[in-house]
Amino acid sequence: MIDCLYQSRWIVSRIGFFLMLTSPVMAGASAGFADLIITNAMVRTLDEARPTAEAVALLGNRLLAVGTSREIAAMAGPKTQRVDGSGRLVLPGFNDAHVHFLAGGFAVTNVDLRSAQTPEEMARRLGEYARRQPKGSWILGGDWDHENWPGAPLPTRQMIDGVTADHPVLVRRLDGHMVLANSLALKLAGITRETQDPAGGEIVRDASGNPTGILKDAAENLVQKVIPPKTAAEKLQAARAATDHAARCGVTSVTDMSADADVGIYQQLLERGELKTRIYAARSIVSWETLGQAGVRAAFGSDWLRIGGLKGFCDGSLGSTTALFFEPYRDKPDTRGLLFDEMLPPGIMLRRVEAADRQGLQVMIHAIGDEANYQILEIYREVAARNGPRDRRFRIEHAQHLRPSEIPRFGAQQVIASMQPYHAADDGRWCDKRIGAERSRTTYAFRSLLNAGAVLAFGSDWTVAPLEPLKGIKAAVTRQTLDGRHPHGWIPEEKISVDEAVRAYTLGSAYAEFAERVKGSLTPGKLADLVMLDRDIYRIDPVEIDQCQVLMTVVDGRVVYQAP
């Protein structure tokens, strides 16, 4: 679908590029002087007009030309920066369709609990981290995963109280839908055995009815509201760490799903010349009127920083047993999951989506369980019928567990499946335990969705998963799980090719943010964003894709990362 849309605009883009060449700065390019050239490379453009090449030339912030090494070398002048690709792979810059960018920047310096293999190791790491922090400061982040532990027990506040007595703690499970608070944090938040579960959330309790410290979804807010807000200086430092990390990973663009009031931080970084990542900043759909009253529509702004997308939630996550299913969980038969508080009271999400869509804003809603996906598809269907045809590009974030009946609807309704393939490698370790093998068959249904004519937009969900796109591409192509139990792939019929995965991480994600005209392929006239890898992931054994290294990242025609 993307290729068809792109081809329909190809002539327009070529005319635009010709007009660019008549401008003073581009007139010099017609004489053959590029700012940067890469020759002797394996260039995969993702442009159907010329799928492969040996070399590229950049002028200013645009791609000047692709061609043979001889053709491109002829465009070099005395001041041209020359890079010998030595046969390395050059691709369009990766575009991550779903991140939590500022949180990722903070995570770089927060306590790391992701790889803790036991509750005891988690407590030890927290204790070591706490000793290095000022007394009374909050300990946040973490990204723990109890599914890594023998028996997969949920942690409790008692496990960590002894090593964090001087610090309130709120560390999240890696999916962001469950947190662990220590006793001090619960005290500061006023959470006791008498505290009622909020709508769309759960306070997990022990046999005596006392809070264990585990808070799910909306219950997290009971503690979040007493955490002191980050200062502007702290946020700026985190944004700088995030954009530096993205450059190292070859990520040149992201959609930040939790930007909200942080757009100004990115603007400061841009003004300082330190931003290395293009950002489409999404706000909460709850506050859609803020943009609507200002007359803002989808993808408003510059090629560096844009707004106009609205993120909503329908349910929780599989790992936290809060994703909403039609049938109960296999390992927790007393629940089918939780309907997120943004969906309550019934009908409110439909009204928000309808109003935001009428304003011309783009809507992207988190849905993981099969019933959650069904409900959002129904809302999108109803809104499209009420508001009439237009290029709205509705998105479902995650689109994780689908009934067979819902898969064709993504193509038929032109709903973008914004998915994170690394989750398949992660959740595949224990998904069958949660919902059974039969319901798992249409989990992360990459192949089926493509066959149904859906647009796939790939991302990471960083910090829920690692930001590195190569890890996600490997997961989509091999469907191997992190525990090594599925060497030939978990649900192998849903594998896709390397080219399809790369397109989902470039053209697909560009389309998902209304930007396929300016990025997503190495087409003359488009933005000069590209990445060079040490090996050709199209030719090596797919199981080795995540072992490849990013050698160079170029954004806006500038080298922002070069491997040492």
User: Where in the sequence is the domain holding 463, given as residue range(s)?
Assistant: 233-517
Residue 561 CA to residue 251 CA, distance in Å, equals 10
For residues 403 and 259, membership in a common domain is answered with yes
Residue 444: DSSP 8-state: S
Residue 94 CA to residue 97 CA, distance in Å, equals 9
In 3D space, the residue among 182, 224, 178, 184 whose CA is nearest the CA of residue 201 turns out to be 178
| Structural domain includes residue 87 | no
Residue 66 CA to residue 335 CA, distance in Å, equals 56
For residues 346 and 474, membership in a common domain is answered with yes
Other CB atoms within 10 A of residue 54 CB: 21
For residues 136 and 282, membership in a common domain is answered with no
Other CB atoms within 10 A of residue 194 CB: 7
For residues 359 and 401, membership in a common domain is answered with yes
pLDDT in tens, the chain (564 residues): 454 443 333 333 333 444 344 333 333 344 559 999 999 999 999 999 999 999 999 999 999 999 999 999 999 999 999 999 999 999 999 999 999 999 999 888 788 898 899 999 999 999 999 999 999 999 998 889 999 899 999 999 999 999 999 999 999 998 888 999 999 999 999 999 999 999 989 999 999 999 999 999 999 999 999 999 989 999 999 999 999 999 999 999 999 999 988 999 999 999 999 999 999 999 999 989 999 889 999 999 999 999 999 999 999 999 999 999 999 999 999 999 999 999 999 999 999 999 999 999 999 999 999 999 999 999 999 999 999 999 999 999 999 999 999 999 999 999 999 999 999 999 999 999 999 999 999 999 999 999 999 999 999 999 999 999 999 999 999 999 999 999 999 999 999 999 999 999 999 999 999 999 999 999 999 999 999 999 999 999 999 999 999 999 999 999 999 999
Residue 169 CA to residue 462 CA, distance in Å, equals 21
In 3D space, the residue among 179, 184, 219 whose CA is nearest the CA of residue 202 turns out to be 219
E-strand ranges in 452-516 read 456-458
Q: Which residue type sits at 412?
A: A
Q: Which residue type sits at 561?
A: Y
CATH of residue 179: 3.10.310.70
Q: At what angle do helices 263-271 and 232-249 cross, to 10 degrees?
A: 70
Residue 514 CA to residue 527 CA, distance in Å, equals 14
For residues 464 and 414, membership in a common domain is answered with yes
End-of-domain residue from the set 224, 249, 265: 224
Q: Please check whether residue 420 is in contact with residue 460, taking contact to mean a CB–CB distance below 8 angstroms.
A: yes
Residue written as tokens 């050239």? 37
For residues 343 and 458, membership in a common domain is answered with yes
Q: Please check whether residue 67 is in contact with residue 109, taking contact to mean a CB–CB distance below 8 angstroms.
A: no
For residues 204 and 257, membership in a common domain is answered with no
| Structural domain includes residue 73 | no
pTM, 2 dp: 0.85
In the structure encoding, which two tokens stand for residue 163, read together? 């090593």
For residues 190 and 252, membership in a common domain is answered with no
CA angle 252, 257, 259 (to 5 degrees): 90
